[in-house]
Amino acid sequence: MRISFIGSGRVATHLAKVLSKQHQIVQIYSRNIAHAEKLAQLVNAEAIVNDQKLVADIDLLIIAVSDQSISQVIQAVGRYLENVLIVHTSGSTNLDVLTQYHAKSGVFYPLQTFSVEHEIAWGNTPLFVEAAFTDDQDILTQLANSLSNRVYQYSSEQRLSLHLAAVFACNFSNYCYDMAKQVVDSKQVDFSLLYPLILETANKVTQNDPRAMQTGPAIRGDLNILNMHEKMLEADEREDLKKIYHMLSQGIQTGQH
Amino acid sequence: MRISFIGSGRVATHLAKVLSKQHQIVQIYSRNIAHAEKLAQLVNAEAIVNDQKLVADIDLLIIAVSDQSISQVIQAVGRYLENVLIVHTSGSTNLDVLTQYHAKSGVFYPLQTFSVEHEIAWGNTPLFVEAAFTDDQDILTQLANSLSNRVYQYSSEQRLSLHLAAVFACNFSNYCYDMAKQVVDSKQVDFSLLYPLILETANKVTQNDPRAMQTGPAIRGDLNILNMHEKMLEADEREDLKKIYHMLSQGIQTGQH
């Protein structure tokens, strides 16, 4: 397939890199020429900063920009790429944000966290595809199958709920690591001591219901420890962490299903 | 070494099991005879429910009970086990909770999360030892070295800060998984789709500062998505999750170091 990208951020970079192994990446558009050129060089494509220079003889255009820019992008490029299948890569953006301006639209959503420094294990990354037309859905499914053995045809609504869950499972758990690091950093204790605990906690949850795996003072109802921990955060003038500690402990104790 | 246990919960069970490979477990005391017998059978020890039946010809007594019971336990058994080294296994309990009733005291704290179903990788579990007397500290260090290659001599204060950090890194991240599961469960979407994301998030943080690895709508300042997610939780009548979503997103956006 001949594939072009709008965007040169983390999702575009990781996706272009892996797709370039089996497909031809034709153009990389970014408003920032340095970013466009950096990624274009990596995947042997042409860098462009003018979206009217996007060529139409491609099979797929992947829009990998921030969620709030998708609508603006499709309005700008959809009209002169009428016969090109155009997809976005967003978990929380409905397909109709594209279809209202461009009929031949779809979604190609990788449920993964993309950081600059870290390689993605594409083989087991769940990919969610959706398209306005059945034959496009087939094309996207085939493309997804070439990257991962976990490909799903999901509606925008299902994808939305997955993305919300991903914020809890990924963004918020990472923030918990961040807060843990702040706690030990302030006492000159090495954060890496917590690595085995972090990995064990994550591994366990792939084998058991997290509710059943919950440990710690909150689920034990150990009020002495809960109070002591809150006092420690108070003494360190970390009212922000104290509030979060209190709210999450309460959630653990009263958690509904 | 000849070792007895007070307690038959998760920490006692995992610790007695691994120690029984190299040492003799003599007695298991628990108020609940069924629990005592279950563990005693596993490690070929005697089960007792009367703490006055604890024999004194042992090298180590490990108190692995809830934090708030440690003081009561040492008051009950310390006096007639005067020459026995007695340790607790708690991250958040000061050594002096033991020493005020029993001179020959110490701490043997494994920084790990113990669940019933899940085997512990002892070899890289950090173990923290502390003792009132130098020779006892040496004995505990040697014992810890026989289990793990990550043994540290930490003060009660350092241990306390580690334990508080562990609540954030382990208990709270697990609760984030739990909340994620609640979100997808309510839409009949399979929680296991999130496993690669959970594992990738945990793995990344062992190689990079979690702050640098933070992804998601909050760190991007994507107010559209943040508002949409909160409205979704509101529509599902999950005010509890909405509050937590809001507070953690704010923390990510304004997080201090």
Contacts of A142 by beta carbon, 8 Å cutoff, 6+ apart: none
Return the residue in A201, A203, A250 with the most chain B beta carbons within 10 A, the one to mutate for interface testing. A201
- Cβ atoms of residues B62 and B81 within 8 Å: no
Rounded mean pLDDT, A205-223: 92
Which of B176, B182, B229, B247 is the mutation pick for testing A, counting most A CBs within 10 A? B176
The CATH number linked to A218 is 1.10.1040.20
Minimum CA–CA partner of B183 in chain A: A165
- Cβ neighbours of A171 in B, within 8 Å: 214-219, 252
The residue-averaged pLDDT of B226-237 equals 95
Number of separate helices (H) and strands (E) present in chain B = 12, 8
Share of chain B above pLDDT 70, in %: 99
pLDDT confidence of B118, banded at 50, 70, 90?
confident
CB contact under 8 A, A216 and B158: no
With beta carbons under 8 A apart, name residues in chain A contacting B209.
181
The CA distance from A200 to A208, in Å, is 12
pLDDT at B236: 93
B202 or B80, which is more confident? B202
CB-CB under 8 Å, B207 with A111: no
Neighbours of B164 (CB within 10 A): 27
A117 shares a domain with A239: no
Cβ pair B170, B87 in contact under 8 A = no
Q: What is the mean pLDDT of chain B?
A: 94
Least confident of A69-83, A178-192, A196-210, B105-119: B105-119
| 8 A C-beta contact, residue B131 and residue B106 | yes
pLDDT computed for residue A80 by the predictor: 87
Domain shared by A204 and A88, yes or no:
no
CATH number at residue B120: 3.40.50.720
Q: Tell me, yes or no, whether B39 and B81 share the same domain.
A: yes
All residues of chain B having their beta carbon less than 8 Å from the beta carbon of residue A198 are: 169-170, 173, 202, 205-206
Q: Which of B107, B123, B154 is the last residue of a domain?
A: B154
Q: Do A183 and B165 make contact, defined as CB atoms within 8 angstroms?
A: yes
Task: Please choose, from the candidates B190, B187, B12, B76, the residue with its C-alpha nearest in 3D space to the C-alpha of residue A206.
Answer: B190
Are residues A67 and A44 part of one domain? yes
Same domain, B63 and B122: yes
Same domain, A133 and A164: no
Q: B15 and B68: one domain?
A: yes
Query: CA of A140 to nearest chain B CA: how many angstroms apart?
Result: 19
Please give the average per-residue pLDDT across A232-247, as a whole number: 96
pLDDT in tens, B131-164: 999 999 999 999 999 999 999 999 998 999 999 9
The minimal CB distance from B112 to the residues A67, A162, A196 is found for A196
The predicted model gives A193-197 an average pLDDT of 94
Please say if the pLDDT value at position A244 is more than 90. yes
Closest CA of chain B from A68, distance in Å: 7
Residue of chain B nearest A250, judged by CA positions = B240
Q: Of A12-16, A115-119, A217-221, where does the model show the most confidence?
A: A12-16
CB contacts < 8 A (A, B): 331
| Closest chain B C-alpha to A235 CA, distance in angstroms | 12
State which residue of chain B sits closest to A217, comparing Cα positions.
B167
- Which pLDDT does position B197 carry in this prediction? 93
Compare CB distances from B113 to A180, A200, A206 and report the shortest one's residue. Answer: A200
How many C-beta atoms surround the C-beta of residue A82 within 10 A?
A: 11
- Cβ pair B88, B97 in contact under 8 A: yes
Neighboring chain A residues of B178 at a CB cutoff of 8 Å: 210-211, 214, 255
Question: Do B25 and B94 fall within a single domain?
Answer: yes
Same domain, A193 and A235: yes
Which DSSP state fits A119? -
The b-or-e profile of B33-57 (16+ CB within 10 A means b, else e) is: eebbbebbeebebebbeebeebeee
Total count of domains within chain A: 2
Given this model, what pLDDT does residue A19 score? 97
> Do A60 and A150 have their domain in common?
yes
Chain A environment of B158 (Cβ under 8 Å): 187, 189
- pLDDT of B53 > 90? The answer is yes
Tell whether A106 and A173 lie within a shared domain: no
Helix (H) or strand (E) holding A10: helix A10-19
Q: What is the pLDDT of residue B116?
A: 72
Closest partner residue to A67 (CB to CB) among B115, B181, B225 is B225
Q: With cut-offs at 50, 70 and 90, classify the pLDDT of residue A257.
A: very low
Range with the lowest mean pLDDT among A113-122, B208-217, B223-232? Answer: A113-122
Q: Tell me: do B168 and B247 sit in the same domain.
A: yes
Rounded average pLDDT over B103-113 = 95
Interface test with A, best of B156, B171, B211, B223 (most A CBs within 10 A): B171
Q: What pLDDT does residue A120 have? A: 86
- In this complex, the residue of B192, B197, B212 whose CB is nearest that of residue A112 is B197
pLDDT band for B257, please (50, 70, 90 cuts): very low
- Domain of residue B193 covers 160-254
% of chain B exceeding 90 in pLDDT:
86
Give the count of beta carbons closer than 10 Å to the beta carbon of residue A178.
Answer: 23
Mean pLDDT is lowest, of A114-128, A206-220, B184-198, B239-253, for A114-128
Among B114, B134, B154, identify where a domain stops. B154
- What's the CA gap between B50 and B53, in Å, rounded? 6
Find the mean pLDDT for residues B196-210: 94
Per-residue model confidence as pLDDT tens digits over A68-82: 899 999 999 998 899
Q: What is the mean pLDDT of chain A?
A: 94
Mean pLDDT in residue range A162-168 = 96
Of A164, A174, A240, Cβ closest to residue B232: A164
Last residue of a domain, one of A154, A175, A198: A154
Cα pseudo-dihedral A235, A241, A245, A248, rounded to 10? 170
